[in-house]
Amino acid sequence: MSVDLPLGKRTSYPQEYSPSLLAGIPREEGRRALGLTGSLPFTGVDVWNAHELSWLDPKGKPVVATAELWVPASSPRIVESKSLKLYLGSLNGARHESESAVRQVIAADLRDVVGAELEVRLAPAPHEALPQTVDVPAGVCIDDADVAIDTYTVDARLLEGSADASDEVEETLYSNLLKSNCPITGQPDWATLFVRYRGGRIDREALLRYIVSYRDHAEFHEPCVERIFTDVKRSSEPRALTVFARYVRRGGIDINPFRSDFEDLTDNVKSWRQ
C-alpha cells in the first residue's frame, strides 16, 4: 500500500483546524484482488459513527455532538480512520456560526478525500436523558451451532456446496463472532455480521466456520465485507444478497459497511456492542 497513513505512527494531536490531516485509501486495489474490475455486483454505503466531535460557538463556548458519515460504496476512496480522528480533533478549537456550518465543512472536506458526495448528519448533545436501549438484531443468530473449528485464515472453500438449491428460503442470519485485524497496526476489529438472502438454504455451520476463518485475517473493514459478499455470492449463488457488518468502536469511531444487490440501508441502529 503506497498511501502514507498516520496509522501505527507516533502522532501529535492538532491544535488548529487542518483538513490536510485526512488521508484517502483507494478501493481499487482490494476490489481487484476479488476480481471486481468492472461493474460492481452490489451497491451500498459505509456508515461511520464518530462519537468524539466538538467545536466552539461564536462566543468561544464548546459544543459537543456525534456525527454520522454516510459514504457511498461507489466512492473511489475510503477515509483512513486515524486520519479522520485527527481531523475531527482539529475542529476542537475552531469557531463556527452553527451546527449547519460545521456539517457543511465536514462534508466538503471529506468529499475531497473520498472523491464523492456523502451525507453528514450531526446530533448535538440532548438536554434531557434519553432511554437506554440495546438493539436486538432481527434474524437468527448462528453462534450456538455445535461445530468444531480449526481454520482461522480466510478460506472461501468452507462455503462450497453449502447451499441447498432445492430448499428455497428468505432469511437473515447473523453472528457476533466476526473478528479481523487492522492490516497496519494488527489491532483486532470486532463486529456483528448480518447475511440476508433469498435462495437455496445456506448451511449455517458452514457459514459460521467461514466467518470465524477471518479471525487472523488482516484487512480493513470495507474490503472484508466486500470479500464476504463476493464469496457468499459465488459459492451459494443466492438470488438476492445483503452483507452488513457493524464493527465495534475504536478511537471513538465505529465503521459499518453495507453491501447489497437488492436493497438499501435506511437506518443506523447501533448494535449491543456499540
Q: Which residues are catalytic?
A: 182, 189
Tell me how far apart the alpha carbons of residues 32 and 40 are, in angstroms, rounded to a whole number: 11
Tell me how far apart the alpha carbons of residues 274 and 49 are, in angstroms, rounded to a whole number: 10
In this structure, the number of other CB atoms found within 10 A of the CB of residue 105 comes to: 17
Answer whether 37's CB lies under 8 Å from 31's CB: yes
Beta bridge partners of 189: 180
Tell me how far apart the alpha carbons of residues 50 and 65 are, in angstroms, rounded to a whole number: 9
State phi, psi for 99 to the nearest 5 degrees. Answer: -60, -40
Residue type for 145, please? A
Q: Find the DSSP H helices in 4-80.
A: 28-33
At CA 61, angle to CA 56 and CA 62, rounded to 5? 55
Helix (H) or strand (E) holding 107: helix 99-114
What sign does the CA torsion over 231, 234, 237, 239 have? positive
Q: Which of 151, 149, 205, 144 is nearest to 176 (CA)?
A: 144
State phi, psi for 7 to the nearest 5 degrees. Answer: -55, 135
